[in-house]
Structure 1
Amino acid sequence: MSKELFNEFDAVSSKQWKQQIQYELKGADYNETLVWESPEGIKVKPFYHIDETVTPAQITTSATNFKIVQNIFVHDVDKSITRALDTLSRGAESIRLTIADETIAVEKLLHAIPSDVQVYIKPTFLKAEFVKSIQSVRPDTIIELDPIGQLVKDGNWFSNLDADFTTLNQLNATLSVNAETYQNAGANMVQQLAYILAHVNEYFNRVSAIDKPITINVAVGTNYFFEIAKLRALRQLFNALAKEYNHQFDCHIIATPTKRNKTLYDYNVNMLRTTTECMSAILGGANAVSNLAYDAIYHKDNEFGDRISRNQLLVLKKESYFDKVNNPADGAYYVEEITKQLAEKALLLFKELEANGGFITQLIEGNIQRKIKESAEKEQTLFDEGKETLLGTNKYPNKNDRMKDDLELYPFVKIQPRKTLITPIIEKRLAEKLEQERLATENQ
């Protein structure tokens, strides 16, 4: 019926659309008026047409299988078990445990979680005995081992380069790439993709046998369609690289909303931001989504914040039917074009990194940090000048908001002078300077 209906209309070519648009502009220049350029150097057109559409990328995503992840930082085993079981009964589908103490009774913790629930464990240390104890109890646990990510964020290896990779080569464990740091520090999307690819390539070159999927943790920003395209481009680039190493597994993507655009004042707006970011993550093909609580930057973990963030994903899944269609972005002309351009630009940057010694070498020389800083400063300038908007913060702020007495966590960059091998990549929110100024004048 719909096919017959649409057959009633004559096809309109891309050239005809442009002619009509030019007529409506009454002499104004089409490119200057309607075409804008993204921070990645991608020119975005006002419309996309089948006449000019690229061949759809062969990317297989499975939105019908995406899982809702609950993060738990383990201090007390019994309390963590109680919390894990409670969140599973209230909609969580996977549990992600961050463990900072190698003496934690991890076996007890794993035995308590139902066997059909995917468990991720993110240790903040690298100990072979600890990993083996997990594998002996629950072999399907995804252990997020990422010594390069440790170097990126902390400035130092767990031990040193040789020792860390010796440990990895002794373990038949899952490798992880913590790419959230790049986005949260201000890297643009091309940089994020290229650095992830180079990060992964170091593991392919330095770990002798990788016979499990590599987990990639990504942060998702607020540029809705671009973020969908970013995740699709990531999967496409990863599979192209993996093929060169005869790696037979697709990557496993865990997506989390970015911290970079989250705000201290008018914090309820953070719920709107994280909702669209989770939507991009699902449509882009993330295997799992871990939402960020609206108050995460200034409150400790709390039941209300967890419940709201989990319910946002449940609404998308159970009421908005985001889990009903696989490959939902396939054939969307705009998304396909952005995917293509992001992938091409990221591949060029990746090749440049490899030609200059690879990712670790570029980190040690400080070039990665410098490039991210330059990108972050450009975005910060746009925010400071009001050209990049965060509602409730640099546009339409509520001057009556008071936050000084609500801070349970320090919401700004912490400076800890110490000796490091490299300059760490520091995550920083756009609104920090403005918020510090507001906090300082709250009682005046």
Structure 2
Amino acid sequence: MSENLFDEFGPVSSKLWKQQIQFELKGADYNEALVWESPEGIKVKPFYHIDEAKDGLVVNTQASEFVICQDIFVHDVDKSAARAVSTLKRGAEAIRFTISTEGTDVEKLLAGIDAATPVYFHLEFISIDFVKQLDAIAKKTGAQFYVQLDPVGYLAREGNWYNGSDNLDALNTISIACTNLSFLSVDATLYQNAGANIVQQIAYTLAHTNEYFNRIATLHQPIVLQVAVGTNYFFEIAKLRAIKLLFSIIAKEYGHEHDCHILALPTRRNKTLYDYNVNMLRTTTECMSAILGGANAVINLPYDALYHKSNEFGDRIARNQLLVLKHESYFDKVNNPADGSYYIEELTQQLADKALALFKDIEANGGFLAQLKENTIQRKIQESANKEQELFDSGREVLLGTNKYPNKADRMSHDLELFPFVKVNPRRTIVSPIIPKRLAEKMEQERLENEEKPL
């Protein structure tokens, strides 16, 4: 049917919409009743219209099909290799190995994994020889390897460099010797999990990345940005889009021709020990935001990751959440589904503008490392974290099953295989480490103590 059925309806301007809303409010103030302000200082309106868009909504954040990635900690090489093969047969499309020792037999670890399967290596050490070994395998097999080396991120998290000394020269050596794999990563999950607001997360990710652009002469491969995603659904979609937009602007200044490669994970900050099944609902919306925001790969967080060691059931449920999104919800069928949403486009632009201003301020004051050493980054994150904690403690920020509608009959002390709270490890550090902390920790600790008291 070629007939246009809506010709009789003329266009309605944003002014007319607002007049109708004000009429329906019956005298109530429009801004007080319907406009709310986010922690980032963004005023969210009840509706968005094309005639109010900046520059005609020119944001372009081309997305690609995401891959489902499985996280595997390598303790026993044979078992980890077998688990990787089994996981790939059951729906995973990429593997991330966390490796703690340089002596790991990589060839045995990769046995049975097809060269077309993307493999991420999260190394808990820095070794030029180890990366050279991976580069040789990639050259020989044509494998797609992403080695997640991030000395600046390690410094921010631990307070010290790998091995106690500046490791950035080692990255220059690797950049020259290893041209068949991506060897550089930026761990932006730290900022979200420690309580930074979204503008801070974007700006710190870019400033963190800019340290590498300034110090590494040649980058032949994409940089992996590891990003944590929260439950503020539309804002998180816009966050990833803003990161991609600003990264491309900054990379262009250095002649870096690759787009960033986003590896997204659900945040731990809002996850709870009690009523833990709600974590599955949280991670589902977070994975959706990651996909719609344009993540290249997504690793889901098992619902029981706070208190259980890695286990088959938790991993399978987490993987199946992504499989449902991909194959039953058809998230792999539409490219850039957020394009044309005036709300998301406006959020993207505002977050990008605010983050760029903060990024420029960081650079004008010496850069990310300088501000890390001056404790400025840590202090700003703590200020944001404290504000969010106050909202949670007062009940204005809700975590269902914890500070709203808790199940008083829940008992968890008998089920803890892992310590789910911040671990205090006093040590001498170069800079104050940025400490990730969940919102519910204090409340959960009080509940655990009450469990142990006799009735």
**Which TM class, normalised by the smaller chain length?**
over 0.9
Which of 163, 167, 170 is residue 170 of structure 2 equivalent to?
A: 167
Distance 1:369 1:302, change over 3 A: same
Matches within 5 A, 1:229-240: 229-240=238-249
Higher mean displacement: 96-105 or 45-54 = 45-54
Partner of 1:61: 62
Query: 1:118 and 1:101 mapped to 2: Cα distance?
Result: 21
Partner of 2:325: 316
Partner of 1:332: 341
Query: 1:57 and 1:169 mapped to 2: Cα distance?
Result: 36
Matched, 1:434 2:437: no
Task: Name the aligned partner's letter for residue 150 of structure 1.
Answer: Y
Query: 2:156 and 2:360 mapped to 1: Cα distance?
Result: 20
Task: Name the aligned partner's letter for residue 152 of structure 1.
Answer: A
Q: Is the 8 A contact 1:254 1:287 kept in 2?
A: yes
Partner of 1:141: 145
Cα offsets for 1:74-120 (capped at 9, x unmatched): 00110001100110000000000000011111122123311111000
Cα offsets for 1:191-241 (capped at 9, x unmatched): 000001100100000011111100000000000000000000000000000
- Give 3-state SS (helix, strand or coil) of 1:312's partner: helix
Partner of 1:401: 410
Q: Which runs of 5+ in 2 are unaligned?
A: none
Matches within 5 A, 1:381-420: 381-420=390-429
Matches within 5 A, 1:95-244: 95-139=95-139, 140-160=144-164, 162=166, 164-172=167-175, 173=178, 174-244=183-253
Structure 1 position 160, deviation (Å): 4.8
Query: 1:117 and 1:24 mapped to 2: Cα distance?
Result: 56
Query: 2:233 and 2:95 mapped to 1: Cα distance?
Result: 26
Partner of 2:256: 247
Structure 1 position 141, deviation (Å): 1.1
TM-score by length of 2: 0.95
Matched, 1:82 2:82: yes
- Give 3-state SS (helix, strand or coil) of 1:175's partner: strand
Structure 1 position 13, deviation (Å): 1.2
Structure 1 position 53, deviation (Å): 1.9
Structure 1 position 166, deviation (Å): 1.4
Matches within 5 A, 1:235-384: 235-384=244-393
Cα offsets for 1:305-336 (capped at 9, x unmatched): 00000000000000000011111111110000
Q: Is the 8 A contact 1:68 1:288 kept in 2?
A: yes
Q: Is the 8 A contact 2:59 2:349 kept in 1?
A: no
Query: 2:372 and 2:320 mapped to 1: Cα distance?
Result: 39
- Give 3-state SS (helix, strand or coil) of 1:26's partner: coil
Cα offsets for 1:4-41 (capped at 9, x unmatched): 12323222111111111111111111001100000000
Q: Is the 8 A contact 1:56 1:330 kept in 2?
A: no
Query: 1:8 and 1:319 mapped to 2: Cα distance?
Result: 38
Q: Is the 8 A contact 2:81 2:111 kept in 1?
A: no
Q: Is the 8 A contact 1:282 1:322 kept in 2?
A: yes
- Give 3-state SS (helix, strand or coil) of 1:6's partner: coil
Structure 1 position 3, deviation (Å): 7.4
TM-score by length of 1: 0.98
Partner of 1:29: 29
Query: 1:175 and 1:121 mapped to 2: Cα distance?
Result: 11
Identity of aligned residues (%): 67
Task: Name the aligned partner's letter for residue 70 of structure 2.
Answer: Q
| Cα RMSD, aligned residues only | 1.2
Task: Name the aligned partner's letter for residue 62 of structure 1.
Answer: A
Query: 1:138 and 1:111 mapped to 2: Cα distance?
Result: 13
Task: Name the aligned partner's letter for residue 450 of structure 2.
Answer: T
- Give 3-state SS (helix, strand or coil) of 2:162's partner: coil
Q: Is the 8 A contact 1:107 1:133 kept in 2?
A: no
Q: Is the 8 A contact 1:121 1:143 kept in 2?
A: yes
